[in-house]
Structure 1
Amino acid sequence: MHARRVRLHQLAALQRNTPFIVLGSLLVAAAQTGVLAGVVPARRLLPWLALLGLHSVLRLALWRHTARRRDWPAQVDALLRRHTALSLTSGLLWAGGALAFLPHGQIEHRLLVIFMLAGMVSSSLHSQTIHLPAFMAFFLPCAVGAVGGSLGLGGPLYQAVAFAVFAYVLLTIRFAHTLNGKLVESLRARFEIAALAERLREQKDAAEQANMAKSRFLAAASHDLRQPVHSLSLLVGTLRQEPLPDTARPIVDHIGEAVRTLGTLFSSLLDISRLDAGVMEARPRAVALRPLLTRLAEEARPLAQAKGLGLRLHGPEVTVRTDPVLLERIVRNLLSNAIRYTERGRVVLGCRRRGLRIEVQVIDTGLGMTEEDQRRCFQEFVQLQPASSERQGIGLGLAIVQRLARLLEHPLHMRSHPGRGTAVGIVLPTTTPTPEPADPAPARPPSPHIATGRRVLVLDDDPSILIALELLLTRWGWQPVLAGTLESLRERATQDHECPALIITDLGLEHGTGGLEAIEALREEFNSDLPALLITGNTAPERLREARAAGHALLHKPVDPDRLKATIERLARVGAP
């Protein structure tokens, strides 16, 4: 394959050089004819000049015809042979001219013929060495003509000239072989490198496509993959409510901790896959920063208190332009990371003004990092803490933070010192607050139903999750009414006149009405603004924005049972008369 490409390149080079070869030959012939006119008989000079002119015309005509052809790859060998044949006839014409002209004139005329022949050889050395047969076809007749013509003149001077020309011939042949070898080898190397680069590009593209396919699969399968882990978490929570032997209690606790860790790691893998697949889209808008940070601080406070750490919040009343859903993920990951790597002291969630921008910072008094660790910590699957550490992650938290910050175009900064803690900040642009709607929706009239306070409606299309929620809610003292579709749930819920205290529904129902629509339908049914809890395994930002905009509580699968219980109790207190 490379040999044919080399021959094609040789043919292209000969084609490019042909006009210059012909033009140079005609100029040298004209100069030689002008000098030898009146010295060499016209019967020898004019026929040679005519033959050379006809040969030049033929060569240019064939060059033009070849340039228009499109079958070079198929005919490359034949076209190279034709170039070689034309070079041979040109060499024979110049050699014949030398033999015809050398016997005439004085010594200066004879030396002129030899030098002009040598000049033609030198020009051919540069223009035709790319294809050695074409060069040798021109060079050898010229060399024989120069050496033979010099010897035929007789005398020591011309014998010395013949010897000098013969030495020149040998050196030229050696040089031509060496130059041709280097040219051909460089062409082969170039084509091999190009072929290798193409194979590497194809392999790189294949690897990237495989990686993207993996990421798209995980991103698309996010909901389905979260379902069994969520169900397992709820069942473990139910098992904890049962009276167990003293020897079994620690086993259940360890199982619960393993399920909780599995859920956290699984969520991280799915998040990084969605980011790699490019299915996350940032939709920035004006966001009040203080309420967002307050909610995240309260969410992280129990975890900090469990480790004996203080958690402080310093958040000014300021409006920033960002995507609130993605910003929540960033700050939540930073808080979780800070608490995990801090054994004593405190964690601070605060803000610092940077001109027209504001930097949200998470500062801890934990282990800290060296400069080398700071460069590595944002890479995937990098763990800087010893593997034996409790609740160790898989090194994706900061990788997710960095990707989300890039998606939002928010600069990310880190400052850390070993043994003195770490500060990570993300810089947000400030903006003016968005005006509130002028005409808020009218309040729904009081419900004619009688609320019992312990009745809860549960809607989920996964039977295993319904079973787990029924067991768990019953042990918490609730009266669950469960169904897989809105129609079935409405039918069961309206069999008596009791108004439920709460609605729990999956956000992404696969069949029939979605979670948000189901909440509105049930509120209409009971003519009451029932508190609602959305549980979802869908991490698509647009779906999460819809849930946030509706004002409902939102938990992500897999849900920790303790957090689920606390959220249900809080919503029930809010909705109580």
Structure 2
Amino acid sequence: MLRDDDSLERQVEKLKRINAALIDRLDRADASRGSHWMLFQTAAVLEQELLARNRDLEQALAHLESVNRELALARETADEANRSKSRFLRAASHDLLQPLSAAKLFLSHLAETVSEPMQASLVARIGTAFDSTEELIRALLEISRLDSVRLDISSERVSLGRLFQRLMVDFQGDAEARGLELRFVISSATVMSNPVFLRRIAQNLISNAIKYTRTGRVLVGARREGSGVWFEVHDTGPGIAAEDRERIFNEFERLAPEGEEPGTGLGLSIVRRACLRLGHEIALESAPGRGSVFRIRLPRALEAPGALASEPAPAATTGAVQRLAGTPADPLLMADPVTGPAPVPLAGRRVLVIENDAAMRDAYALLLRRWGVVVATAEGTRAALGELRRFRPEALVTDYRLDRDETGLGAIGALRRRLGSRLPALIVTAEPDPGLQAQADRLEAALLRKPVSETELRSTLSALLEGRRGSAAAAE
């Protein structure tokens, strides 16, 4: 009986242990179920938040897409407005410069006929007003072109020696008229830049230096530094205060000394815009009463295959050259002034003028006949070809933009084919397109921008006729 009780107790104890183990398992299972449940609940909440955030993101992306479409439309509208502005400025410049050019030629003839001092003074004042108008129109056109996003300014090798040679011709007369000494330090350096805009930069800097220098000199040269060359314009003008050195590059800023005629206030703005487009650094050193030095850093061109170590500097046609003050000897800087040939007499020479504007045709004819030139005029290519039946020209002067979509380039080609010779030709244009110079160069034709002055016209015709005579002599 006792043995049975012991066995029962052992069984009860065993059952208790089993029961405790089962309860512990159940507790652990409940705890595990609770943890999984909490995770499930958390995941469900996160999923709802994620869906909400996705909806917000989709709405934001849709809004961004709408904004981008509006920006693209606004950009296209702005581009079209800019293109329309450029087209308008090109058309307006042609229509403005055409009568201005005729008026200046008539005025130059009038200046030769007046004898009374008061009349001469009035003619001079009218001429100054025309010059200011021309300068303003050209400056506005330059700024419009430089601000154009579609303007492609390519760089190529530019000889500073040849550039300086042209600049001498451009400015020697202006400097002499103001009693200034204009000197160039001719350089044999070749740089990488856009030849049209680099020349414009140099013209603006030299023009400003001459305009604001009352006495002394203007010195133009180049200084080598590392892989670059600094183009420099020194003057003995009034100088620029430190607080004015930044604002002089703004549009319509004029710092003309008392008693001086102010300019347009756009020249240095054009310089800055052109340098930004070309990637050229600008530097300025100046102080009141001590003159100014404007510098433009240009990258030096690598030697072309087969080129000599340094090309000789071309001879200067006019003016004088010397070493930059205070600079050591530099193989890029040479001083070798040479006087150019005298102008060719025009009396008796035969010139054909093609111009669709009647006032300009009359102005050309009046001016050329005053120089003793035998003149024939035509309004277009067809009429010019007809003139060849009775008139064989030695040179041609043609407008670029003619009627019925004709151009002076086409007129030159047609006349040369008819004559069977390379007729010397001059294109005169009011078009601001810098690419016209390259087209004229391919035809070996000269190019002048309207309004053309009497001096420019005469010197260019003289050079064309001299070149033709030299070619004929070589052929014989």
| TM-score normalised over the length of structure 1 | 0.59
Distance 2:205 2:78 in 1: 27
Residue type of the partner of 1:220? R
Are 1:400 and 2:270 an aligned pair? Answer: yes
Do residues 342 (structure 1) and 213 (structure 2) align?
A: yes
Distance 1:213-1:305 versus aligned 2 partners, 3 A rule: farther
How far apart, CA to CA, are the structure 1 residues paired with 2:77 and 2:355? 34
Partners of 2:395 and 2:465 within 8 A in 1: yes
Structure 1 distance, partners of 2:443, 2:258, is: 42
**Match for residue 555 of structure 1?**
448
Give distance in 1, aligned partners of 2:286 and 2:402.
45
CA contact under 8 A between 1:483 and 1:489: conserved in structure 2?
A: yes
Alpha-carbon shift at residue 315 of structure 1 (Å) = 1.6
Q: 1:468 — aligned with what?
A: 363
Q: Alignment partner for residue 233 of structure 1, among 74, 87, 101? A: 101
Residues 135-182 of structure 1: per-residue CA shift (max 9 Å, x gap) = xxxxxxxxxxxxxxxxxxxxxxxxxxxxxxxxxxxxxxxxxxxxxxxx
Give the corresponding residue for 1:495. Answer: 389
**Cα RMSD, aligned residues only:** 3.8
Q: Is the 8 A contact 1:452 1:501 kept in 2?
A: no
**Local SS of the residue matching 2:237:** coil
Give the match for residue 5 of structure 2: none
Answer yes or no: is the 8 Å Cα contact 2:102–2:359 preserved in 1: no
Of 553-562 and 395-404, the range deviating more from structure 2: 553-562
CA contact (8 A) 1:412 1:425 kept: yes
CA–CA distance in 2 between the matches of 1:517 and 1:411?
Answer: 40
**Deviation at residue 347 of structure 1 after TM alignment:** 0.8
Change (3 A) 1:370 1:534: same
* Larger-Rg structure: 1
Range 483-492 or range 461-470, more displaced: 461-470
Q: How does 1:2-151 map to 2 (within 5 A)?
A: 64=47, 68=51
Q: Distance in 1 between matches of 2:87 and 2:174?
A: 31
Residue 209 to residue 344, structure 1, CA distance change in 2 (3 Å): farther
- 1:482 alignment counterpart: 377
Deviation at 1:384, TM superposition (A): 1.7
- Cα shift at 1:553: 2.0
* TM-superposed deviation, 1:397: 0.7
Which of 412, 415, 426 pairs up with 1:522? 415
Structure 1 distance, partners of 2:467, 2:297, is 35
User: Which residue of 2 is the match for residue 565 of structure 1?
Assistant: 458
Match of 1:273?
Answer: 144
Distance (Å, rounded) in 2 between the aligned partners of 1:468 and 1:218: 31
Deviations 1:474-502 (A, max 9, x none): 3333333222321221112x122x43121
CA displacement, residues 331-386 of structure 1 (integer Å, 9 cap, x when unaligned): 11111111011111111111111123222111111111122211222222211225
Tell me the distance in 1 between the aligned counterparts of 2:100 and 2:446. 22
For residues 109 and 200 of structure 2, the distance between their equivalents in structure 1, rounded to whole angstroms, comes to 31
Equivalent residue, structure 2, for 1:431: 302
Question: What are the residue-to-residue correspondences of 1:502-513 with 2, within 5 Å?
Answer: 502-509=395-402, 511-513=404-406
Q: Work out the CA distance in 1 between the residues paired with 2:155 and 2:251.
A: 26
Tell me which of 131, 134, 147 is aligned to 1:260. 131
Q: 1:366 to 1:548 in 2, by over 3 A?
A: farther
- Post-superposition Cα deviations, 1:275-316, rounded to whole Å, max 9, x if no partner, equal 112343222222222112111122110000000001111122
Write the deviation string for residues 231-274 of structure 1: whole angstroms up to 9, x where unpaired.
Answer: 22322432442434734333232212111110011100110011
Contact 1:315 1:350 in 2 (8 A): yes
Give 3-state SS (helix, strand or coil) of 2:421's partner.
coil
Q: Deviation at 1:462?
A: 3.6
Q: Write the distance in 1 (CA, Å) between the matches of 2:418 and 2:145.
A: 37
Report the AA paired with residue 268 of structure 2. L
Match of 2:292 among 422, 430, 433: 422
Tell me the residue number matched to 1:315: 186
Report the counterpart of residue 426 of structure 2 in structure 1.
533
Secondary structure of the 1:415 match is: strand
Counterparts of 1:422 and 1:210 in 2: how far apart (Å)? 43
Once the 2 structures are TM-superposed, how far is the Cα of residue 64 of structure 1 from its aligned partner? 4.5
Is the contact between residue 507 and residue 514 of structure 1 (CA under 8 Å) also seen in structure 2? yes
Q: Is the partner of 1:312 in helix, strand or coil?
A: strand
CA displacement 1:434-459 (0-9 Å, x = unmatched): 779xxxxxxxxxxxxxx994321222
Shift of 1:572: 3.1
Are 2:244 and 1:377 aligned? no
Letter of the structure 2 residue corresponding to residue 562 of structure 1: T
The residue identity in structure 2 corresponding to 1:495 is R
Query: How many residue pairs were aligned?
Result: 391
Change (3 A) 1:244 1:408: same
Q: Is the 8 A contact 1:236 1:255 kept in 2?
A: no
Describe the shift of the 1:282–1:57 C-alpha distance in structure 2 as closer, same or farther (beyond 3 A). closer
Residues 377-427 of structure 1: CA distance to partner in whole angstroms, max 9, x if unpaired? 22222112258622x222111111111112222222211121111111222
Q: Which AA in structure 2 matches 1:421?
A: G
3-state SS of 2:135 partner: helix
Distance in 1 between the 2:77 and 2:108 partners?
Answer: 42
CA-to-partner distance for each residue in 1:315-339, whole Å, 9 max, x for gaps? 2223222221111111111111110
More helix by share: 1
Distance 1:495 1:415, change over 3 A: same
Q: Which amino acid aligns with 2:146?
A: L
CA contact (8 A) 2:347 2:371 kept: no
Report if aligned partners of 1:226, 1:557 keep a CA contact under 8 Å in 2: no
CA distance in 2, matches of 1:58, 1:255: 92
Within 5 Å, give how 1:348-363 maps onto structure 2: 348-363=219-234
State the SS of the aligned residue for 1:221.
helix
Contact 1:323-1:408 within 8 A present in 2 as well: yes
Counterpart residue identity of residue 298, structure 1: V
- 1:220 alignment counterpart: 87
**Aligned residues of 2:240 and 2:287 also touching (Cα < 8 A):** yes
Amino acid at match of 2:381: L
- Which fold has the larger relative contact order, with Cα–Cα distance below 8 Å and residues 6 or more apart in sequence? 2
